[in-house]
Amino acid sequence: MLLAIPLLIIPFALYNLAMTGLFGDGGAAVLDSEVMAVNMLSGTTWTMAFGDLLILIALVLLFVEILKATRPGSRALLDHMLSMVLFVVFLVEFLLVQGAATQIFFILMTITFIDVIAGFAVSIRTASRDLSIGL
Nearest to 2 by CA among 55, 67, 78: 78
Angle at 101 between CA 94 and CA 4, to 5 degrees: 40
**How far, CA to CA in Å, does 128 sit from each of 80, 125, 131?**
17, 5, 5
pLDDT of residue 115: 95
Q: What is the pLDDT of residues 26-38, one digit of tens each?
A: 778 888 889 999 9
- Asked if the model's pLDDT at residue 132 lies above 60, the reply is no
* 71-80, 86-95, 110-119, 121-130: least confident range: 121-130
Q: What is the pLDDT of residues 39-82, one digit of tens each?
A: 999 999 999 999 999 999 999 999 999 888 887 777 778 888 99
pLDDT of residue 135: 52
Residues 7-29 have a mean pLDDT of 86
The strand ranges marked E within the chain are 34-39, 45-49
Q: What are 47's strand-pairing partners?
A: 37
